[in-house]
Amino acid sequence: MAISVKEVERVARLARIKLTEKEKEKLKGDLSRILDYFEKMKEVDAGNADLILSIAGLTNVFRKDENPLSAEADKIKKMIGQAPERQENFVKTKPVFEK
């Protein structure tokens, strides 16, 4: 699939890079070869191929998604309850900065 210099300039503008005329010509050929390769890949029948996710045998390990404070919620409520002044789940203090 042949790519024009105008298309190379458009891609360069989208990537926000400046190219010389020599670089544009080189990229025109490179991008054309890459797209030709993808055209060849479309011809391959991979309908019976098994999906390979990893050749290293590694797996992701996920932790249970939970709020770390939920286990401590009773302790936190008890501590806030002992404060002389409080508002909802916050301890009220005297102002630190004067106006």
pLDDT at 22: 95
Q: Is the pLDDT at 99 greater than 70, yes or no?
A: no
Residue 80 has which token pair? 């806030």
Q: How confident is the model at residue 11 (pLDDT cuts 50, 70, 90)?
A: very high
Q: Using an 8 Å Cβ cutoff, are 36 and 1 in contact? A: yes
pLDDT at 68: 67
Signed CA dihedral, 9, 13, 15, 17: sign only? positive
Q: How confident is the model at residue 10 (pLDDT cuts 50, 70, 90)?
A: very high
* Chain centroid offset of residue 86 CA: 40
SS3 91: strand
The number of C-alpha atoms within 13 Å of 46 and in the hemisphere containing its C-beta is 8
Q: Is the pLDDT at 19 greater than 90, yes or no?
A: yes
CATH number at residue 35: 1.10.20
Q: Give the total number of structural domains in the chain.
A: 1
What is the domain range of residue 20? 5-42
For residue 82, is it within any domain?
A: no
Span 79-93, pLDDT tens digits: 888 888 888 878 888
For residue 36, is it within any domain?
A: yes
For residue 30, is it within any domain?
A: yes
